[in-house]
């Protein structure tokens, strides 16, 4: 039993006690025989901003006989206090130790959170390796975007959910209850889980390797499916929280997030999300308006964010925005779009939004030259960007943010320098529109390093070395030196290298993750906590070379670590898109006609658009 005085004393000594106290507005009072903990391997403010966590929490709350709680990775100050007091990792709601839950489900949102998974298991007093857990230990499962290649974490996970969890989570809970009532072995539970479509049980697959380190074969045990295919839900009428938890402290996305569609039709060749969330599914305007009404009333937020991969592509977006602003604008509720197309239509949308609250504008050309934008299938021209900037500056905006990548396949120094040239052109347009004596024009350029991702046309590509990425960054800095009105931000190459390694890694990397965690690595996505030196030592200790995973181009014939996990998009289509990239050929948006990716006929679905 947790000593309240001791706990209160600990909370008084940590920086943000609201991360750990629970009791948030709308927290459901519920009891149940089967306890599920949704574990997010980052701090509270990040995890509570994740829409998927909110949806699954709602889904499980609705399930009879199930109590669902949350756990987050405690920050360094809290971690030290817990260790001193010998307190295990506790859930937020009831302060129940993690080891006392029947199911613990991790969200794998980004690769640099992997050591946090181990950290939470260890603090929760749960054996790290799946093979070491018995019938008395929780079932440890995971899902999220990184679940489409969970191999680096495979030895630590009992099961992995591939795809969307709204329906499959209930099936997993039912499977667990049935197993529990039978009193069968843990192996029996894992085999039963493997029978659920979309559920991958890593321990039931044997991986063998060639002498050159590549994969020879991935062999399932008898009776286990050779390929696991992702789960999809029909978004129309799908469960969605109407009164989610309202934190006592500020979080990253401190607003109502309303998902208006899932999937994307544009086909950018670097984008993993554009593959794994296919096909496009739009909610009806009627359903969106009804949800907006309930969420704003039940949470008290004064901002509504229309969430998706490309919200301005929603087929009735102008009509929807106008309706929302008309209904809620007078109440002081602002509406935001997290992503805008690079065209004048985006400015029209932005003008509708800014009637309530004016913000900066963000666009993502991704590459500086038209040649390279064609390679990555980014359907944006320089004329699009300049005319969009002109429309924005002419109607009163003073700040524009531009997102780019460096290290893309086929990139040359001229392509890198084109980023600077394009940013300067946007700045010049802004100054021209502002007129003489009217300053204040700002252009922000954010540059990330390309990371080849599984299930994309670039999954076979090599990442630039750290030295090459650093050289390109310096090239860009030099090209923008002296232009004070352009602010340049970039990602550290070391973090990008590790992301590439873990993104396309196999299960041998579990040893590296373990060594890095034992050396103190966690919160690797936080720059102040990231220790690249410790990771380098971990690779050396495991006898593995990070360049083998990050900086090596794959052949068409090579078996990839995730080939037995199917996103619904055919591998042959991805290779064809890679070939089209190298020839500079664009592939049209699949709204305009089928591109032959295989999702719709393979999964028995199709793109669906809002009717009213």
pLDDT tens digit string along 367-396?
A: 999 999 999 999 899 999 999 999 889 888
Would you kindly state where each structural domain of the chain is located, as residue ranges?
A: 10-229, 360-451+462-504, 509-543
pLDDT score, position 99: 98
Return the half-sphere exposure (C-beta side, CA atoms, 13 A cut-off) of residue 245.
30
Domain 10-229 fold is Rossmann fold (3.40.50)
Tell which wins on pLDDT, 351 or 203.
203
pLDDT(479) > 80: yes
pLDDT score, position 329: 86
pLDDT tens digit string along 316-368?
A: 999 999 999 999 988 889 888 877 778 778 788 888 877 655 567 889 999 99
Percent of the chain with pLDDT over 70: 98
Return the half-sphere exposure (C-beta side, CA atoms, 13 A cut-off) of residue 607.
18
pLDDT tens digit string along 123-178?
A: 999 999 999 999 999 999 999 999 999 999 999 999 999 999 999 999 999 999 99
pLDDT tens digit string along 49-87?
A: 999 999 999 999 999 899 999 999 999 999 999 999 999
Mean pLDDT, residues 99-120 taken together: 98
**199 beta partners:** 161
**66 beta partners:** 34
Tell which wins on pLDDT, 5 or 339.
5
pLDDT(455) > 60: yes
Residues 37 and 71: beta-carbon distance below 8 Å: yes
pLDDT score, position 344: 72
Percent of the chain with pLDDT over 90: 86
**Rama region for 228: left / alpha / beta (φ>0; ψ in -120 to 50; rest):** beta
From residue 263, alpha-carbon distances to 97, 260, 276 in Å are: 37, 10, 8
pLDDT score, position 161: 98
User: Angle formed by the axes of helices 114-123 and 509-518, to 10°?
Assistant: 60
pLDDT score, position 347: 80
pLDDT(547) > 60: yes
pLDDT band at 98 (very low <50, low <70, confident <90, very high): very high
Cβ neighbours for 454, distance < 8 A, ≥ 6 positions apart: 148, 149, 272, 503, 504, 560, 561, 562
pLDDT band at 514 (very low <50, low <70, confident <90, very high): very high
Mean pLDDT, residues 202-207 taken together: 98
pLDDT(442) > 90: yes
One of 3.40.50.1970, 1.10.230.10, 3.30.390.50, 3.30.750.200 is the CATH number of 360-451+462-504, namely 3.30.750.200
Q: How distant is the alpha carbon of residue 383 from its chain centre?
A: 31
**36 beta partners:** 68, 103
Return the half-sphere exposure (C-beta side, CA atoms, 13 A cut-off) of residue 306.
32
Give the 3-state secondary structure percentages of the chain, helix then strand then coil, rounded to 5. 40, 15, 45
- Determine how many CB atoms are found less than 10 A away from the CB of residue 87: 19
Among 196-205, 212-221, 424-433, 530-539, the minimum mean pLDDT is found in 424-433
pLDDT(233) > 70: yes
CA–CA dist 102, 68 (Å, integer): 11
pLDDT band at 186 (very low <50, low <70, confident <90, very high): very high
């Amino acid at each position: 039993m947790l000593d309240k005085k001791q706990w209160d004393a600990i909370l008084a000594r940590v920086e943000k006690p609201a991360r750990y106290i629970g009791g948030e507005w709308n927290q459901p009072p519920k009891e149940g025989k089967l306890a599920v903990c949704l574990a997010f391997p980052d701090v509270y403010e990040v995890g509570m901003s994740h829409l998927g966590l909110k949806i699954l929490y709602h889904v499980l709350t609705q399930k009879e006989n199930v109590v669902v709680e949350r756990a987050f990775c405690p920050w360094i100050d809290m971690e030290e206090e817990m260790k001193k007091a010998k307190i295990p990792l506790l859930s937020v709601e009831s302060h129940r130790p993690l080891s006392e839950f029947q199911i613990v489900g991790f969200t794998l949102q980004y690769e640099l959170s992997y050591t946090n998974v181990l950290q939470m298991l260890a603090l929760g007093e749960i054996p790290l390796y799946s093979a070491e857990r018995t019938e008395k230990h929780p079932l440890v499962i995971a899902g999220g975007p990184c679940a489409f290649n969970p191999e680096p974490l495979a030895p630590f996970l009992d099961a992995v959910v591939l795809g969307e969890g709204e329906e499959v989570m209930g099936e997993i809970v039912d499977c667990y209850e049935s197993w529990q009532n039978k009193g069968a072995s843990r192996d029996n539970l894992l085999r039963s889980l493997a029978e659920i479509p979309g559920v991958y049980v890593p321990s039931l697959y044997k991986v063998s390797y060639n002498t050159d380190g590549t994969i020879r074969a991935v062999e399932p045990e008898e009776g286990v499916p050779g390929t696991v295919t992702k789960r999809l839900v029909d978004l129309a009428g799908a469960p969605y929280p109407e009164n989610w938890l309202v934190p006592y402290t500020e979080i990253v996305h401190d607003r109502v997030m309303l998902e208006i569609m899932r999937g994307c039709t544009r086909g950018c060749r670097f984008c993993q999300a554009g593959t794994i969330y296919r096909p496009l599914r739009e909610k009806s305007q009627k359903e969106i308006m009804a949800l907006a009404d309930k969420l704003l009333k039940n949470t008290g937020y004064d901002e509504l964010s229309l969430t998706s991969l490309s919200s301005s592509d929603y087929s009735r977006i102008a009509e929807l925005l106008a309706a929302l602003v008309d209904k809620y604008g007078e109440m002081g509720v602002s509406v935001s779009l997290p992503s805008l197309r690079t065209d004048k239509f985006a400015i029209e949308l932005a003008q509708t939004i800014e009637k309530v609250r004016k913000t900066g504008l963000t666009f993502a050309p991704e590459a500086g030259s038209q040649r390279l934008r064609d390679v990555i299938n980014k359907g944006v021209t320089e004329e699009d960007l300049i005319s969009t900037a002109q429309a924005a500056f002419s109607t009163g905006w003073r700040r524009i943010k531009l997102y780019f990548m460096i290290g893309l396949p086929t990139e040359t120094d001229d392509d890198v320098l084109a980023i600077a040239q394009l940013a300067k052109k946007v700045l010049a347009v802004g100054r021209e529109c502002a007129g003489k004596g009217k300053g204040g024009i700002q252009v922000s350029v954010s540059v990330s390093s390309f990371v080849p991702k599984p299930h994309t046309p670039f999954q076979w590509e090599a990442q630039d070395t750290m030295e090459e990425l650093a050289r390109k960054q310096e090239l860009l800095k030099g090209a923008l030196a002296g232009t004070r009105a352009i602010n340049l931000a970039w990602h550290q190459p070391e973090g990008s290298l590790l992301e590439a390694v873990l993104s396309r890694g196999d299960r041998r990397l579990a040893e590296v993750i373990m060594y890095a965690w034992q050396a103190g690595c966690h919160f690797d996505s936080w720059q102040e906590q990231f220790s690249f030196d410790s990771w380098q030592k971990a690779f050396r200790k495991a006898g593995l070379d990070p360049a083998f995973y990050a900086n090596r181009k794959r052949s068409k014939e090579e078996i990839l670590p995730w080939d037995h996990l199917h996103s619904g998009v055919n591998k042959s289509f991805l290779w064809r898109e890679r070939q089209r990239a190298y020839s500079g050929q664009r592939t049209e948006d699949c709204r305009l006609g089928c591109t032959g990716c295989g999702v719709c006929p393979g999964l028995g679905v199709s793109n669906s658009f809002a009717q009213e």
